[in-house]
Amino acid sequence: MSRMFLALLLLSLMAGGAVAELTATEQRIRELAQKQPTSSVVFLEVKLLEGGKDYFCPLISVTVVSDQGASSSFTVQDAHAVPFTGRAGYGAEYGGIALLPAGTYTIASIQCRSLLRLNGKFARFSVGPNEITNTGCLVLDFKRGPLTLFDRPTFSGRTGAEALGAMAARSLAERAPTIFPKATKRYLTPNPATSGKRAS
């Protein structure tokens, strides 16, 4: 872990005169940061709409690709869905946390469990070394094209960026109470040209 990041974390943990215990998420971040000492913590949410209506996906993950070609995948929603109800279950987690090397990244793929995979250059964001960054929420409103017997469906999509939703902000604050409040808001930049890509 970098000295700067460690000092920031320890200062926060010492607040109030007593050392606070790390949550499981913060412990995992700490362990990863020891292996990647100049990397940054990134908070990100993804919201899916289909034709303007909320699209419930129990498990959403994203793949980001740096300008140098390195890729990383991480979960941005795990709703622990109750079977056959389309509703989130107990312990649902909203918003994702990643530890990424400094650089500029493109969100190149969004996966909804085994139900949906959307590929495209949806949005970009940048992080420097040893930062804690809130990149906000990527909103993707997609429409399915026709499905044929021998072909995958196409989709057209509209992307947007906004602040983290209330559930994501609350969930992230619960999982990373020391780190999340320190995040600098630097929202991702959506790609308005995203359309006509493949979905699977």
Alpha carbon distances (Å) from 133 to 13, 174, 179, 195: 19, 17, 10, 28
Average pLDDT over residues 105-133: 92
How many domains, in total, are found in the chain? 1
Domain span at residue 37? 3-198
Look-up of token digits 């300008």: 67
Q: Which residues pair with 132 in a beta bridge?
A: 41
Look-up of token digits 């960026």: 161
Residues 6+ away with beta carbon under 8 Å from 44: 62, 76, 95, 96, 98, 125, 135, 136, 137, 138, 188
Average pLDDT over residues 63-89: 82
The whole-number pLDDT of residue 74 equals 97
The overall pTM is greater than 0.85: no
More confident of the two residues 102 and 14: 102
Residue whose C-alpha is closest to residue 12's, from 134, 176, 193? 176
List pLDDT tens digits, range 125-158.
Answer: 999 999 999 999 999 998 877 765 555 556 677 8
Residue whose C-alpha is closest to residue 157's, from 165, 149, 145? 145
